[in-house]
A and B are shown apart, each in its own frame.
Chain A
Amino acid sequence: MKKITKKDLAALLRFIGENEALYIPGRVSGQTNYVRYNENTDVDLDTLKTVKSAKEVFFPQSETLYTVKTEDGKYRISQEELQNEEFVLFGVKACDMKGIEVLDKVFLSEPVDTFYKARREKGTIVTMACGEPEESCFCKVFGIDCAEPQGDVTLWNFGNEYFWKANTEKGEALTEKCSSFLKDGDEATVDAIKNAIRTVVEKLPYMNLSLEGWDGTKTEEKFNSPVWEELYKPCLACGTCTFVCPTCQCYDIKDYNTGKGVQRYRCWDSCMYSDFTMMAHGNNRTSQLQRYRQRFMHKLVYFPANNDGMYSCVGCGRCVDKCPASTNIVKVIKAFQKEGK
């Protein structure tokens, strides 16, 4: 167990940032998101939740896959290079870390997504325990302990210091590199911090949400339930919930006409959008009820059915905070409970 004073953190970040790319929560025009660090970055480790999750560091909202150019009447195809520089992702909360594990299930299973895999291999993740969880948090419902996030290094915020613990080889390597900034810390203090966080977690309103009935079975029963008919109605069909979600992983592949060729890129897609999974024959989901149902069925039924019971919701509560119509996954779970479905 190591520790660093908050006063020294700026120097540490500068040090890491000088040697490799560093992604960290930073404030731009009043909002905190993961940004690539430079000396002007307004680092913000106090805001509990970045608007967008840490997933975009491994799975960007939009990325070019390859470019086709016409030269002298011939086509020249050039593939985008895979991530080849080491980087550090700093300040990830337990829910977002679990979100990355969910994405691993999707992108690292065959056929492996090489773009994602390269980023995962080159990235060292520094996580941070949650000091003051908020009312929209429900990570514990999915078995996540926000007092002890995983990742290569874990930090605990306490008074004027951050406690620092390496969990993996990559974490040990980063700790070694940063050793001149770190002092020895004691386990006992960290145990006390963890207990304090867990005591707070028990008081949160959503922590006792029951997932009974959402075990990847009863697919048809859930799918055909009349409960959806009312639930979807406030939904504006925007993509906010999907784009702030740490686990939503659907993407679209499109061609951008550059005038002299084509840029083939992929971008996050949202099952809330009318052209989601549009195919030559048309669209297999034609109403907002169907699109709304898809999102929750995927997270709570299809994904666990195909991934040994792992839900593709991590209880970060971003959709609870951000839905313009205040509808969200918690309300869906509760509505089914109420109807006894």
Chain B
Amino acid sequence: MKELLQDGTVNRVLGWKKGDLPYNPEPAFFKSAEELDEFIYDGFCGANLSKYMIAASALEGKTLVLLKPCDSYSFVQLMKEHRVDREKAYIIGVGCKGKLDIERIKAEGVKGIESISGAEIDGDCSTLKIGTIYGEKEVAYKDAMLERCHVCKGKEHRIYDELMLESADTLDSGRFEAVEAIENMTPEQKFAFFKNELSKCIRCNACRNVCPACSCRKCVFDSTKFDSAQKANVDEFEEKMFHIIRAFHVAGRCTDCGECSRVCPQGIPLHLFNRKFIKDINEYYGEYQAGNNVEDETPLTDFTFDDLEPGERR
């Protein structure tokens, strides 16, 4: 990366910068070899950098961006929607051994964290050894992974200029298991489930702002002329409406990158909405993975005579 910066191939690097705690690296633009001394890539670099490439596409020269396999689906989808400029990107596809969720580590009763080892990308990623002010703790890497890594889409990058580092298989659950469990609930149970989950929503909009599919220049919920404000739920109906509208809006374009659930401060499993749509699309229009490639016809904007009529089910 330093060479590509120094020889002028790229003007900047978009990666992750070391945090001030053992688990909080942040997305960052690096402009010089010296700045890159603060670069890090480990198990805590869950942030999907594809969306930052919308802004980077407007900058002068190329941006070197590091994309994990799942992030690369988001980049392709953004290309398909003409929101990022492929010519402005130098993509290094980085391997991934599953990304970690600090909330899951804390849920194991770990607090007062001083150090974490075992999250290094060149390690075997099997056990996290955590030093805390209350003593040493161990957590299995697998138990600390983000939900999305348990249903990993695979080790293959959909787009790249260069590849670096090995990936690991982390898939150990069925992608639609949780959706099926909800489908099997009674209407009353479903309503209670979503009511409880969505009652926690604080309308921070983190899910929307992190979402690579939510790339509208101006969101309808940000309009001052809209009766439904983006920052407060007037009633219980609105807190559901926001998330349901958002799920509809990204249907067919959501790659299931899982960023919405990763960032939710209230731990709402928002990905379940999107995954329900993905499951339905697969059943109604044939298997489809958003962000797989730029050429595919998209199921919700393409018409065929075999399409279901309204109200029809397969």
Min C-beta distance of B207 to chain A, whole Å? 8
On whether the beta carbons of A204 and B112 are closer than 8 Å, the reply is yes
CA distance A203 to B28 in the complex (A): 29
On whether the beta carbons of B222 and A275 are closer than 8 Å, the reply is yes
Interface of B is mostly: loop
Which residues B23-42 have CB closer than 8 A to chain A?
24-29
Residues from chain A with a CB closer than 8 A to the CB of B21 are 135-136, 205, 320
On whether the beta carbons of A244 and B202 are closer than 8 Å, the reply is yes
CA distance A324 to B262 in the complex (A): 8
On whether the beta carbons of A268 and B232 are closer than 8 Å, the reply is yes
Which residues B1-51 have CB closer than 8 A to chain A?
19-21, 24-29, 47
Residues from chain B with a CB closer than 8 A to the CB of A254 are 229, 232
Q: How many B residues face the partner with a CB closer than 8 A?
A: 44
On whether the beta carbons of B232 and A61 are closer than 8 Å, the reply is yes
On whether the beta carbons of B24 and A326 are closer than 8 Å, the reply is yes
Q: Mark A323-335, 1 if CB is under 8 A from B, else 0.
A: 0111100110010
Residues from chain B with a CB closer than 8 A to the CB of A273 are 205, 222, 230-231
Residues from chain B with a CB closer than 8 A to the CB of A240 are 202, 204, 206, 263, 265
Min C-beta distance of B85 to chain A, whole Å? 19
Residue A290 CB within 8 A of the other chain = no
Which of the 9-residue segments B148-156, B193-201, B286-294 touches chain A? B193-201
Interface-central residue, B132, B133, B234, B267, by most chain A CB under 10 Å: B133
Which residues B84-122 have CB closer than 8 A to chain A?
111-114
On whether the beta carbons of A238 and B210 are closer than 8 Å, the reply is yes
Q: Mark A236-270, 1 if CB is under 8 A from B, else 0.
A: 11111011100000001010110000010101111
CA distance A138 to B232 in the complex (A): 29
On whether the beta carbons of B133 and A320 are closer than 8 Å, the reply is no
Tier of interface size on chain A: 35 or more
| Inter-chain residue pair count (beta carbon < 8 A) | 138
Residue A133 CB within 8 A of the other chain = yes
Closest to B196 in A: A29
Residue A28 CB within 8 A of the other chain = yes
Residues from chain A with a CB closer than 8 A to the CB of B209 are 236-238, 324
Interface of A is mostly: loop
Known: A268-B231, A324-B262, A325-B47. Is A243-B24 also a contact (CB below 8 A)? Answer: no
On whether the beta carbons of B205 and A238 are closer than 8 Å, the reply is yes
Which residues A269-288 have CB closer than 8 A to chain B?
269-270, 273-275, 278
Min C-beta distance of A166 to chain B, whole Å? 30
On whether the beta carbons of A326 and B111 are closer than 8 Å, the reply is no
Residue A234 CB within 8 A of the other chain = yes
Residue B189 CB within 8 A of the other chain = no
Residue A233 CB within 8 A of the other chain = yes
Residue B227 CB within 8 A of the other chain = yes
Residue B167 CB within 8 A of the other chain = no
CA distance A66 to B24 in the complex (A): 44
CA distance A290 to B200 in the complex (A): 30
Which residues A310-330 have CB closer than 8 A to chain B?
320, 322, 324-327, 330
On whether the beta carbons of A200 and B231 are closer than 8 Å, the reply is no
On whether the beta carbons of A31 and B25 are closer than 8 Å, the reply is no
Question: Which of B27, B112, B268 is within 8 Å of A234, CB to CB?
Answer: B27
Residue A157 CB within 8 A of the other chain = no
Residues from chain B with a CB closer than 8 A to the CB of A270 are 204, 231
Closest to A274 in B: B222
Residues from chain B with a CB closer than 8 A to the CB of A244 are 202, 204, 265
Min C-beta distance of B239 to chain A, whole Å? 10
Residue B203 CB within 8 A of the other chain = yes
Residue A124 CB within 8 A of the other chain = no
On whether the beta carbons of B229 and A239 are closer than 8 Å, the reply is no
Closest to B205 in A: A238
Closest to A237 in B: B209
Question: Which of B19, B25, B202, B224 is within 8 Å of A243, CB to CB?
Answer: B202
On whether the beta carbons of B200 and A330 are closer than 8 Å, the reply is no
Closest to B206 in A: A238
Known: A28-B200, A273-B222, A324-B210. Is A134-B26 also a contact (CB below 8 A)? Answer: no
Q: Mark A14-58, 1 if CB is under 8 A from B, else 0.
A: 000000000000001111010000000000000010011000000
Residue A132 CB within 8 A of the other chain = yes
Apart from A29-B268, A326-B19, list 16 A-B contacts with CB within 8 A. A48-B111, A61-B203, A135-B21, A135-B132, A200-B112, A234-B27, A240-B265, A270-B204, A270-B231, A273-B205, A278-B224, A320-B21, A325-B27, A326-B47, A331-B26, A334-B20
Contacts A/B (CB < 8 Å), 10 sampled:
A33-B200, A51-B265, A61-B203, A133-B112, A204-B112, A230-B29, A233-B29, A239-B204, A240-B204, A324-B206
Top 3 A-B residue pairs of the complex, sorted by shortest distance between their CB atoms: A267-B232, A324-B263, A238-B206
